[in-house]
Amino acid sequence: MENKTADLNNKYETVIGLETHVELSTETKMFCGCKLSFGEKPNTYTCPVCLGHPGSLPVVNKKAIESAVKIALALNCSISEHSIFHRKNYFYPDMPKNYQISQYDLPVGVGGYIDINMGNYVRKVKITRVHVEEDTGKLIHIGSTGRISEADYSIVDFNRAGTPLIEIVTDPDIKSPEEAKQYMITLRNTLLMLNVSDCSMEEGSIRSDANVSVKLTTTDKLGTRTEIKNLNSFKFLQKGLEYEVERQIDVLESGREVLQQTRHYDNKTQTTKVLRQKEEAHDYRYFPDPDLVPMKILPDWINEIKSALPELPGAREKRYKNSLGLSDYDSAFMANDFEISSYFEETLKHHNNAKSVCNWIMGDFSAFINKNQVTLKESKISPENLADLVKMIDRQEINSKIAKSVFEEMYDSGESPQEIILKKGLKQISDTGELEAIINEVILKNPDAVSQYKSGKVKAIGFLVGRIMAKTQGKANPQIVNEIIVKKLS
């Protein structure tokens, strides 16, 4: 069985292209002045424009276009100076106008790319287009399960209708489900750094449809693809694609043909099911929206936006490596997760030792967080408190053993390390007078170790230092202890 799978994996190659929708976090909707909302009473954030009333006219939200330009630039696209909106015509009850305002052949951005760090190689994924459109409303299915198939009836909530959406389409450059997942992670982090969307997977403010096909390794001709929907987590994206690749190979191996379909991923069964035979672009009867004038995106504005772009994950990773001296692995770890990276940056503002801060975040902190299934932000340890702890270790005011117990206490209570050290009397003893008394006692009680040291067994000193650390519950400053013993015994 395993051999068969391996043979088939050599015989076929996987080809994936992703279409990602991102809800922008602008104040207002794409073509009207309604505020964006989430989880509010249905149909309370609407107006004649987003309800599609006759005679109402759309007006473009400039902030949304600015976000689109930011995203396109971050993805290395060229910006189209001349860009227009099209109507995409179809019927669905969550869409009051019976068409969606979208972009077709003149999108805001084209011809970009993004580099995906796969650990031992980099996959360059070309970005076909970045375009602007509007979101639909939401159907709420009334019935015991909330699912459409078991609903008694459905109601429509138009609060989301008209929310600005950006669609980001890749070329079919992605070569495995794992690469697809990593692409999503990298794209999401990039968008978070740009501060254009909250990119919540649970709330659906970033969602991807995956187009996938398999082809014989021996040909360049792409196979027929299916488009998979409902991949609303990184894990589902990978799992859904893995299933679909296997299914398509089975179909081809049994002598049948893959049909161009839209399929739905069901996480319960971890399989995909046919939703509909795939529609083609011409089915939508795209035509330029006569209610909207063409957009001119002027070079001056583009340059202004470009010069205000924040540092992006790729540049950040390089800076961590080259200026902060972190290893390849550590730089990638610290730069490629928005939350970790923000936490790291914040901590460095209070204590500028990148290496030791990085070690704490990647070591003890990550271990605790993984164990307790929380995120850095949800933990009670503020970047400032972590900085203070690491500062005390770096200045040798506490040793690593005490640091660990202080850290645990910080994790539980959210208190500052200073408070905990004071409360528990954990401050390191660096006062030589106090230490000498303890050292004299230990020297007296351990004549064997002392004579071993004097006869040239340098290691015996470790034993003596160990006794002193034990006597002070780890509070003695080991370096000072060492110096004093050496002086006393020579």
The phi, psi pair for 227, rounded to 5°, reads -115, 125
Contact (Cβ atoms closer than 8 angstroms) between residue 80 and residue 108 = yes
CB of 25 to Zn ion, least distance (A): 17
Give the residue with the Cβ less far from ligand ADP, 87 or 475: 87
- Site for Zn ion, residues 159 to 198, rule: CB under 5 A: none
CB of 381 to Zn ion, least distance (A): 42
Give the residue with the Cβ less far from ligand ADP, 58 or 223: 223
- Site for ligand ADP, residues 213 to 232, rule: CB under 6 A: 213, 222-223, 225
Is residue 211 a contact point for ligand ADP (CB under 6 A)? yes
Pick from 24, 32, 114, 426: which binds Zn ion (CB under 5 A)? Answer: 32
- Site for ligand ADP, residues 74 to 103, rule: CB under 6 A: none
CA distance 329 to 320: 11
Q: In sequence order, what E strands does 238-379 have?
A: 261-266, 271-277, 287-288, 295-296
Q: Choose the one of ligand ADP, Zn ion, none that binds residue 171, judging by a C-beta under 5 to 8 angstroms depending on kind.
A: ligand ADP
- Site for Zn ion, residues 34 to 53, rule: CB under 5 A: 34, 47, 49-50
Contact (Cβ atoms closer than 8 angstroms) between residue 284 and residue 86 = no
Binding window for ligand ADP (CB under 6 A); candidates: 10-18, 144-152, 311-319, 451-459:
10-18
Q: Choose the one of Zn ion, ligand ADP, none that binds residue 15, judging by a C-beta under 5 to 8 angstroms depending on kind.
A: ligand ADP
- Following CA atoms 170, 175, 180, 181 in sequence, which dihedral angle do they give, to the nearest 10 degrees? -160
Give the residue with the Cβ less far from ligand ADP, 68 or 426: 68
CA distance 158 to 174: 35
Q: Choose the one of ligand ADP, Zn ion, none that binds residue 34, judging by a C-beta under 5 to 8 angstroms depending on kind.
A: Zn ion
Give the residue with the Cβ less far from ligand ADP, 281 or 437: 281
Binding window for ligand ADP (CB under 6 A); candidates: 16-24, 62-70, 108-116, 289-297:
16-24
**What SS3 class is residue 227?**
strand
Give the residue with the Cβ less far from ligand ADP, 133 or 330: 133
CB of 288 to Zn ion, least distance (A): 22
Give the residue with the Cβ less far from ligand ADP, 229 or 427: 229
CA distance 315 to 270: 37
Long-range contacts made by residues 336-343, C-beta under 8 angstroms, separation at least 24?
A: 336/117, 336/185, 336/186, 336/189, 337/185, 337/189, 338/188, 338/189, 338/192, 338/193, 339/375, 339/376, 339/377, 340/376, 341/189, 341/193, 341/313, 341/316, 343/376, 343/377, 343/383
Pick from 50, 212, 295, 340: which binds ligand ADP (CB under 6 A)? Answer: 212
Pick from 36, 110, 166, 169: which binds ligand ADP (CB under 6 A)? Answer: 169
Task: Supply the DSSP symbol for 311.
Answer: P
Half-sphere exposure of 414 (CA within 13 A, CB side): 6
Is residue 171 a contact point for ligand ADP (CB under 6 A)? yes
Q: Choose the one of Zn ion, ligand ADP, none that binds residue 172, judging by a C-beta under 5 to 8 angstroms depending on kind.
A: ligand ADP
Residues contacting ligand ADP: total by CB under 6 A = 16
Residue 33, token pair as written in the block: 């002045």
**What SS3 class is residue 164?**
strand
Handedness of CA 138, 143, 146, 147 (dihedral sign): negative
Query: Would you tell me which residues interact with Zn ion (CB under 5 A)?
Result: 32, 34, 47, 49-50
Residues in contact with ligand ADP by CB under 6 A are 15-19, 169-172, 211-213, 222-223, 225, 281
